[in-house]
Structure 1
């Protein structure tokens, strides 16, 4: 068979790759639902929360969204996004899979509102992960959150403890010997607590020169 005839036969046969390429493909960035599919009452509720000039849009294919959940019902999740907080993205619950125990618990118990989430779509299916809203707000404002001061431990002084114990013993322990034994035992315990504190005070009040004694110059 001549080369010309082989070439003609190849041209006459349909190309599977050409057919595949010509089939309609879903474009990246396409809305997953239509705007009119969002109930007007849902859109209005979210716009009222965000204030004047706010907008509500459906999620898009391959989109990424960070922000706070401001609405949930059986079908939709509304998420406030953007630095200005004037836009809400509507996700279908059936399109998004919650990741992590916290978000799964919130979903099951209808507690998604006010949760910080980050949603990643791969095509038309998304995954939602916990997102630290406070950290994002601090970063966007160009400041770090100040570290909170450690709380002072709440306790009771040995003297106060003995005072309360003496009052308790007088009211509740009628036997004099038992009352005396109780207070004696408690007093010994409080002295053990006070001993390290007294030693620390003595160490601080001792002049630094005492530490130099016996050292040749």
Structure 2
């Protein structure tokens, strides 16, 4: 009986791992394809289908490379390894040279694709030239998506997509630290899913253990995991439904850049305005092109927030909130304009004082007045006026330093 139970748990665990990989791959696929035009997405998907048919032996390599050329616009070398490199080049004395090695500015960028490395070391063929590096990088991402989406193995596909996301974020100079952190964690999660061997049934407790939540898939009703698995939990709550996720992403997208919508993390704090409410989630803008989706079932006052929204007490695009999480739950508090403004003023003043007031006593006295000022501002009151005694003995700060502009 014990063996049957262990076998059942092993089977369920394997199916769950497969489900997690599938959801992760689908999420990455949707996000990465969203950065490309509809025509490009159609070409990528059709070329990926050809890649899969070629791998399965339904078509030969010539048919596959011809399909990529027609759909994507570049001709891949035979026995393509899936790797690329981009080289900035310039004309020097009538010869095309590597601009970096010649220490000159690139005039164009050549895209190289690698053939099967077993044939020849560093066997790269030039397949296209582009006027800007951005154009070359964009083409590389398209071809990497063809390779990933054309891969049958779900484990490999998930890892390939996670690597594409990682490279996209870390090559973007405007990417925030939060975006980089999420891209890094996504890649690590994908590696764990792709490389970790199936857990031995002897290591899985038949009872007890710690109910785990991995990447938005609720495992509580199906299987329990050991305590060390809890440390791998990185997100709180379930994912948004795809239509809601797309709507939320559009709200924080701009002409220059697609938006990002994340799940909340344990032990984190978020502040910003509410931009969307669904039946299951509250979406909060936390950056110019980023938002966090809060699972209402994971907020202590989720039901109250829903009631406030239904009663028009929460105004979309106007109501600001601060959300604080512990390991697995959070609480949202509505922040008034005065509270938000006072927090901004306080932080700016503290930053200025740290950089400009070198005397510690003077800095402490200055910040004491700033804190009193911002506390009154947060309450919607006039800032407290100094007493006569304070007025007679003003705090001295270095006269050579400009005073910060505290606006209300």
TM-score using structure 2 length:
0.26
TM-score by length of 1: 0.45
Structure 1 or 2, whichever has the larger Rg, is 1
